[in-house]
Amino acid sequence: MSEASCGGYFEVVPTSLYMRSFEFLYRGTAHIFLDISPIDITLTRFVASRQDDEKTLILASEDLNIKVFNNAELSIEGPMLKEYCIRPERQDSLLAKDYSGTTPFAHIMGVVLYASAVPDCGLAAHSCRTQNIIIGDGGPAAILTDEDLVVPIDNAQGYERSNQNLRVTLIFKDECPIQRLARRLREAYSCTMCSKS
């Protein structure tokens, strides 16, 4: 709705994220969009953001096709990511800048997982969707880090740093919640729409 009306990004998070004594440290949130099949889990979109009184920082990637494996982290290559810094004055904002290699924030207090799956009937129109919200209990639910996949070269620094050599990783505090969400969707694979007809 916000994109259709003005193109803006509006962060929607549980109010509990802003009612802690350490909210100035842990205000980051991540929105993760997934497609679930009987075999694969695919990351299709990623948005991480942090707001304060002066700006909103966003790290985002769309049109992804990244297979998620059975571990407690997600990784996205640097060239797939864009950075945004939204300020009250448009001229002070940075929009869709290529990821520079330093994550603008580390702590992710809340993670919202969105998942969809096509049931066993195979009809995309009958796809089922679910979501899960994870909030850190006394600390972050996940950590956002960047890994410098450096390429050694012969210069003063001894390595080349570029967007091509970077990867951002979201590390979950506990067991990967994506796997739990996938199990929940897969258990409901029989199509409820077809059974009604």
Which are the contacts of 140, defined by CB distance < 8 A and separation ≥ 6?
Answer: 26, 28, 107, 108, 109, 173
CB 170, CB 144: distance < 8 Å = yes
Residue 20 tokens read as: 């802690």
* Pairing state between β 142-148 and 166-172: antiparallel
**Token representation of residue 66:** 């990244």
Which residues are 51's β-sheet partners? 56
pLDDT in tens, the chain (197 residues): 444 445 555 566 666 655 655 555 557 889 999 998 888 899 999 999 988 778 888 999 989 999 988 777 899 998 899 998 888 777 778 788 888 878 888 889 889 898 888 777 767 777 778 888 888 777 788 999 987 655 555 555 555 555 567 889 999 987 788 888 888 888 766 676 676 65
